[in-house]
Amino acid sequence: MAIKVNRRMMSAIFLVGISCGLVVTAQVSAVQELLAEYGREGAGKYNAVNGEKLWKRVQVDAKTGQKRSCVTCHTNDLRKPGKHARTGKLIKPMAPSVNADRLTDKKKIEKWFHRNCKWTLGRICTPQEKADILAYLANQ
């Protein structure tokens, strides 16, 4: 009898543990899987320091002469909400430590890399650049 109860309790604890873990795992797995994919696409070892540099690098737009960087919309402090430079709409913080929804969906990350690199840098980012930025963002 007593053993049965213990088993049930253990499986309950196990399940609760799993579901808590899932939230964190989603983030880790989305980032890990993407990093692996970027590796297969030719990226070398990712480097968060290079990622940070790229994140903050200012690029002058050829057509408009505007100065643009990832910081333009996401602000210098990744824990704070940003503001869309073109529309004024509020953007939730980028740091996964304050916004658990961040970096949990591969497709979404890829979509925004595509959009934002094109607008900010005038071209899409290379797998190496994406890997570096992702490594930088994931640690915030």
Partner 1 sequence: MVSSKLRVWDLPTKVFHWGLVLSFVAAWLLRGDRYLHLHVLAGYLFFFLLLFRLYWGLAGSFHARFSSFIRPLPEVWEYLKKATGRKAPRHLGHNPAGGWAVLLLMSLGLMISITGLLTLGVEEGHGPLAGILGREWAALFHASHQALAWAMLSMVGLHLVAVFRESVLHRENLPLAMLTGYKRTDTKARAENVQPHAAVALALLGVMLGFSLWWGRGYLLHSGNEPYLPFSGPMLSRNALWEEECGACHLAYHPSLLPRRSWNRLLTQQENHFSEDLYLDAGTISRLRAYAVTGEAGNTVTEASWKIHNSIPAAKTPVRITETGYWKNKHKDIPEKLWTRSDIGGRHNCTACHLDARQGWFEDGAMRIPFNEKNMTRIM
Q: Residues interacting with ligand HEC, by CB under 6 A? A: 70, 72-74, 84-87, 91-92, 102-103, 108-109, 112-113, 115-117, 119-121, 133
Closest CA to 37 of 113, 128, 103: 128
Residue placing its CB nearer to partner 1 in the complex, 4 or 123: 123
Q: Which long-range contacts (CB under 8 A, 24 or more apart) does 82-90 make?
A: none
With CB under 5 to 8 Å by kind, the binding choice for 19 among ligand HEC, partner 1, none is: none
88 interface partner picked from partner 1, ligand HEC, none, CB below 5 to 8 A per type: partner 1
Question: Counting beta carbons within 10 angstroms of the beta carbon of residue 20, is it exposed (0 to 12), middle (13 to 18) or buried (19 or more)?
Answer: exposed
Is the distance from CB of 134 to CB of 34 less than 8 angstroms?
A: yes
Q: Which does 140 bind (CB under 5 to 8 A by kind): partner 1, ligand HEC, none?
A: none
- Cα–Cα–Cα angle for 101, 136, 139, rounded to 5 degrees: 55
Residues in touch with partner 1 (CB under 8 A): 84, 86-89, 111, 114-115, 118-119
Smallest distance, partner 1 to C-beta of residue 3, A? 47
Question: Closest CB to ligand HEC among 39 and 75?
Answer: 75
Instruction: Give 26's Cβ-side CA count (13 Å radius).
Output: 15
Cα Rg, the chain, nearest whole Å: 19
Smallest gap, in angstroms, from Cβ of residue 2 to ligand HEC? 47
